[in-house]
Structure 1
Amino acid sequence: MTSPRLFARRLSLLAVAAAAVVSVAGCSLLSSTFGADSTPRGDDGQVVEQNDSADVFSIRVGDCLNDASASDEVTEVPLVPCSEPHDSEVYASIIMTGDAFPGNDVVIAEADDACFERFEEFVGIPYLDSIYDFSYYFPTEGSWANGDREILCVIYDPAGQKLTGSLAGIAR
């Protein structure tokens, strides 16, 4: 798996341009395959206690992460309750299909498109009007071979400001 903030494209008003964003990771659907989720969660599934070394496959939509310093490829991420300061929030999950790994370029292109498409629905305004940026975790060739097909979209403040609470419907 690879971490966010290494690959991604930033869209400009006229065209798609490269930007600093994300990388690769895994999916929560495979937590039984790759390891159990030891993160304390409430009845609603939300993280209730910080877990500095949560299995990357335990990440769920709605989770908040302290992942600004994540490396290229990750196996663990720091999960925190969204009420506490955090770097990013998972806002969408996309499941890719296919048996053969399509290659990093295809996976990244699908992640860019899918996360861009879901951004406005989550934030409440178009991506190009928002002060926030997105990144994503996506399958590597190795995790794909083990059944990983999940892209996880994360939203963050490109100025590096910590977030508190969910950005759902923030309209900024």
Structure 2
Amino acid sequence: MTIVSSAPWTRALAIASIATAAVALSGCSILEQFTGGGNATRDDSGEVVEGNDNTDVFTLQVGDCLNDATASETVETIPTVPCAEPHDSEIYASIILEGDTFPGSEAVIAEADAACLEAFPGFAGIEYADSQYYYSYYFPTEGSWAGGDREILCTIYDEAGQVTGSLENIGR
């Protein structure tokens, strides 16, 4: 998966070039055995109760809080923490893309940008243009698509620093 940021400055998150996306590792469904990725500990409701510095990106879900400020381009693992602890971002939406053939990085990015922007007010309780928060997203690469990855994960974050607690219905 690859991540991009909606902020005019990208807090160390860079959009992967089409060339990078095209040569990204394929078979990402089996990446855990090569990357040392793991799972955060979750309670019965699915909420993270014990984080993991190397959480496999394919185990992330809506509501997870991440320490991903230094993530860039293609990622395989991301640090997760309980949302009550200081964190960089929170996953607020999951969008599943359709199709068997990879539509190209530009098309995936356009879909991710539009879908995450549309989902933002439903989560944050305020229109994106009026919010002090930014959104970003993880999206499939050509290689991860070949392994079955179709998920875009939208994240909300505060450019000024770490957040404690959920940003759901924050209204600012």
Q: TM-score if structure 1 supplies the norm length?
A: 0.83
For residues 19 and 108 of structure 1, the distance between their equivalents in structure 2, rounded to whole angstroms, comes to 17
Distance in 2 between the 1:75 and 1:54 partners? Answer: 8
> Distance between the aligned counterparts of 1:75 and 1:23, measured in 2?
15
1:120 has 2:139 as partner: no
Shift of 1:39: 1.5
Pairing 1:166–2:166 present: yes
Q: Is the 1:22–1:137 Cα contact (8 Å) retained in structure 2?
A: no
Contact 1:34–1:57 (CA<8 Å) still a contact in 2? Answer: no
Once residues 32 and 44 of structure 1 are traced to their aligned partners in structure 2, the CA distance between those partners, rounded to angstroms, is 24
Shift of 1:9: 4.6
Cα deviation, residue 53, structure 1: 0.4
Secondary structure at 2:48's aligned position in 1? coil
- Measure the CA separation in 1 of the matches of 2:14 and 2:123: 18
Tell me by how many angstroms 1:71 deviates: 2.4
- What residue in structure 1 maps to residue 82 of structure 2? 81
**Does structure 1 retain, via aligned residues, the 8 Å contact 2:134–2:158?**
yes
Q: Is the 8 A contact 2:124 2:169 kept in 1?
A: yes
Query: SS where residue 167 of structure 1 aligns?
Result: coil
Whole-Å separation in 2 of the counterparts to 1:171 and 1:131: 9
4+ residue runs over 2 A deviation: 7-10, 18-24, 31-38
The CA deviation at 1:42 is: 0.7
Q: 1:28 — aligned with what?
A: none
Q: For the structure 1 residues 32 and 108, does the alpha-carbon distance in structure 2 shift closer, same or farther, using more than 3 Å as the test?
A: closer
Q: Please give the residue correspondences for 1:44-63 in structure 2 after superposition, counting only pairs within 5 Å.
A: 44-63=45-64
Matches within 5 A, 1:81-120: 81-120=82-121
Cα drift, residue 33 of structure 1: 6.0
User: CA offsets per residue over residues 88-109 of structure 1, 9 Å max, x none?
Assistant: 0000000000111000100000
TM-score, structure 2 length as denominator? Answer: 0.83
Return the offset for 1:72. Answer: 1.1
TM-aligned CA deviation for residue 50 of structure 1: 1.6
SS at match of 1:112: helix
Who is 1:15 aligned against? none
Helix, strand or coil: the match of 2:79? Answer: strand
Structure 1: give runs of 5+ residues left out of the alignment: 11-17, 25-30
Aligned equivalents of 2:71 and 2:125: distance in 1?
28
Mapped to 2, the partners of 1:56 and 1:68 lie a distance apart of 15
Distance in structure 2 (CA, Å) of the matches to 1:70 and 1:8? 11
Task: Quote the Cα distance in structure 1 between the aligned partners of 2:64 and 2:14.
Answer: 17
Aligned-residue RMSD, C-alpha: 2.2
